[in-house]
Amino acid sequence: MARTSFFFFALMVVAFAGVCAGAYSLVQRDRARLVEQFASERLHQVDETATNARNDLDDIGEDLRFAGELVAEPESPASYQRELRALLHVVTQYKAIAVVDETGEVEAFLSDPAARLPLSTEAIRAAMVETAKLAAQREVGQLVSSPPLQDGEWLRVFATPVPRPGRADPERNDRRRAIAVLVDVEAYFGALRLITTDPNAHVLVLGAFGQPTPGSERSVADAVRSLPKTAARTPQLAELVARMRAGERGTMQLSGAEAQQLGLGNNDVIAAFAPLVPRGGARWALATLTSTAQLQSLERLAVLRLGLAALAVIVLLCAFGAYVLVASRRALALRESQRHAARLAHLHEKAQKILDNIPTAVVALTSDGRINAANRALRDRVGPLPLLAPLEQAFPQAPGHVLQRVRALVDSATGSGQVRTLPGEELALFGEPGHFRIHAVPFENPDPDVSSLLVIEDLSNVHALESKLMRAEKLATVGVLAAGIAHEIGTPLGVVRGRAEYLLGKLQKDAPHAASVQVIVEQIDRVTRTIRQLLDFSRLQPAQVRPLSLAPVARGLVELLQMEAQRRKLTFTARVGDDVPPIAADADQLQQALVNVVMNAFDACAPGGHVELTAEAEGADSPALGRVAIRVRDDGVGIPPGRVNQIFDPFFTTKKRGQGTGLGLTLTAQIARNHGGQVELTSAPGQGTTVTLWWPRSIEREHHVQHG
């Protein structure tokens, strides 16, 4: 017996050692291939980001060259200033525009009054003059960029020379001129946000002057700025920066020690870099520094799995050895059999209790498909089931075609000896529709009493959660897509509108084509408003909440929309008492949400209709748990049941083409979620609609009222 034990022990040691050695060899062989593939993927990602950013910077040059052509041959300063003002209005990234000659004299300076800039107008004007003076000395078509106007900001000045006019201008003495624009370039590097969502990926962006931009990882940017003093301690970073400044494209690996000095963890880092060279402009460069921690995690996981496999082999060998040793002695085998019988009885009882208490419905079926037993989850739904009842009695409220599918599933499983499954789908198994996954599990050694199991998983709650998750992902994707589309459309629209206004200024008021050109300008303005809504939807700012009383907000809303209600011959009232608890809200965002809901109610009502706004406290007495229900009711046409679930989807609208963008209620729901609230909608065709905004109550304000 001792020799046998030693044999099995030696066999287990050899098996474990062999598995570990094989795992180590496989991991080492595949590491180089994984690193190469990882670096190639990162480089492709950087190339795509650089291409998108370069196209956006090229748009700045195109705008400036177009504006320079207008400035070169104007009818009057006022005419080209009007074109520049239109460009400043349409492209939201442009904050100021100036026309400066080579001596620094400013011919025109326009700024966006709505822009909130960290610098004074004098500082901005001075920076634009210096950059324009440099550009005036360059060839036409070249683009000059300034350094960032302030540390940590995206503001830069871009300038390009103005073409010489076709005829001499005595007032200007034929001096060279340049046109400069102050640009917030953060939006042009929006794709960097997709890279930085990975916690192991970090970004380094070198601007036109070879210095890190605000979008770079802070620790890496600080290390780059201090390279003249610390290049000896971080030679690999110095090499990376030198290759980026030289305009190279490629990948390189930074050691874990140097990565730790840069604050990127203690794992090796893969750096992928590519140049970004706009037409006629200075060179930028992009790089991503991605930790290889994920690759090391995969290696550790592979080793762990192989180790577990070896352990499983050892366990099997031990079980087999124990069986041989026990079988060698008849008396011991008898006692062990009795012990195992008792253990099996205990396990049977345990399994019975487990099956009876799991939330999944389980039915045991005989060889002819009758019910032998059912657990509590099924009995709670349909009540007690008689022994050997037909399978159909387990689902007394199910339609006939559903029962046929279940019966066919069981027959297929018992006939083939393999598990058969109906994937999660909508089935009316218990009267009301629900999502269920059904498994028919045959026994390998079937018994006439119990030959198979029917397992019914209720996925209704999971399906509801998946729907909510898909809606949230859809909103996030639509937000990013809306911002990109709005930016891409905004620039050419600005050019078209500028050209149209230029033509309109050339035509007399009674000219035959003046009215048509005016229609073009009006329709472009309409598209611009839609773009503004898209940008508002995709760039909703975090709510600056404060205690807010609803009564003044309701009165202000009535005053704001009363004229619109009278124009439509509607009655709009608000019943919000001063006793309604204060809510925690951003006043501007709350008003925007309420205006969206009330205007939708106006659109749903015919002349003579009624729209009412009410508010009341709901929930617990504690401010921390209670909410306020803000309801907007109308007696309009209502919404068909099939469309109620789509009403908060982006771009979905029941209005006629051209009368709505389908973003109003989507933006309202986004604002409510941004405040920790939610929106509910109930409607019926011909009976009107009620929209309820559940808003959190203000804890701070109510505490002051109760104890002040």
% of residues, the chain, pLDDT over 70: 72
pLDDT at 630: 94
Looking at per-residue confidence, does 103 or 171 come out higher? Answer: 103
Least confident of 13-22, 95-104, 263-272, 520-529: 13-22
Given this model, what pLDDT does residue 526 score? 64
- Position 707 scores a pLDDT of 32
CATH numbers and ranges of domains, the chain: 73-188 (3.30.450.40), 190-291 (3.30.450), 359-454 (3.30.450.20), 465-537 (1.10.287), 546-707 (3.30.565.10)
Question: Please, which pLDDT band fits residue 473 given cuts at 50, 70 and 90?
Answer: low
pLDDT number for residue 222: 81
Identify the residue with better confidence: 218 or 238: 238
Q: How far is CA 389 from CA 316, 372, 407, 442, 469, in A?
A: 42, 8, 14, 19, 41
What is the largest distance, in Å, between two alpha-carbon atoms of the chain? 124
Return d(Cα 3, Cα 583) in angstroms, integer: 80
301 or 507: which carries more pLDDT confidence? 507
The region of weakest confidence among 248-252, 450-454, 542-546, 593-597 is 542-546
User: What pLDDT, on a 0 to 100 scale, did the predictor assign at position 694?
Assistant: 92
pLDDT on residue 702: 41
Q: pLDDT tier at 46 (50, 70, 90 boundaries)?
A: confident
Task: Give 611's pLDDT tier (boundaries 50, 70, 90).
Answer: very high
Contacts of 217 (CB under 8 A, 6+ apart): 202, 203, 204, 263, 264, 289
Element (H, E) at 679: strand 678-684
Lowest mean pLDDT among 152-161, 532-541, 596-605: 532-541
Q: Between 94 and 354, where is the model more confident?
A: 94
Q: Which two tokens stand for residue 200?
A: 């192991």
Query: pLDDT tens across 365-412, in order?
Result: 887 778 877 777 777 777 777 777 787 777 777 777 777 788 888 888
The whole-number pLDDT of residue 706 equals 33
pLDDT of residue 5: 55
Helix, strand, coil percentages, rounded to 5, for the chain: 50, 20, 30
* 340 pLDDT more than 90: no
Total Cβ atoms within 10 A of residue 335: 11
Would you say 623 and 581 are in contact if contact means Cβ atoms under 8 Å apart?
Answer: yes
Give the model's confidence band at 692: pLDDT under 50 very low, under 70 low, under 90 confident, else very high. very high
Let me know: does 362 contact 355? Beta carbons within 8 Å. yes
> Which residues, including other chains, have CB under 8 Å from residue 14's CB and lie 6 or more apart?
none
Strand 361-365 relative to strand 452-458, pairing: antiparallel
Reported in sequence order, the residue ranges of 586-677 that DSSP labels E, i.e. its strands, are 610-618, 627-634
Query: What pLDDT was estimated at residue 313?
Result: 64
The fraction of the chain above a pLDDT of 90, given in percent, is 7
For 416-425, write each residue's pLDDT tens digit.
Answer: 888 888 776 6
Q: What is the mean pLDDT of residues 467-494?
A: 66
DSSP string, 33-48: HHHHHHHHHHHHHHHH
| 18-27, 80-89, 573-582: the lowest-pLDDT one | 18-27
Q: Where are the alpha helices (DSSP H) in 73-109?
A: 77-90
Higher pLDDT, 528 or 320: 528
Average pLDDT over residues 442-466: 75
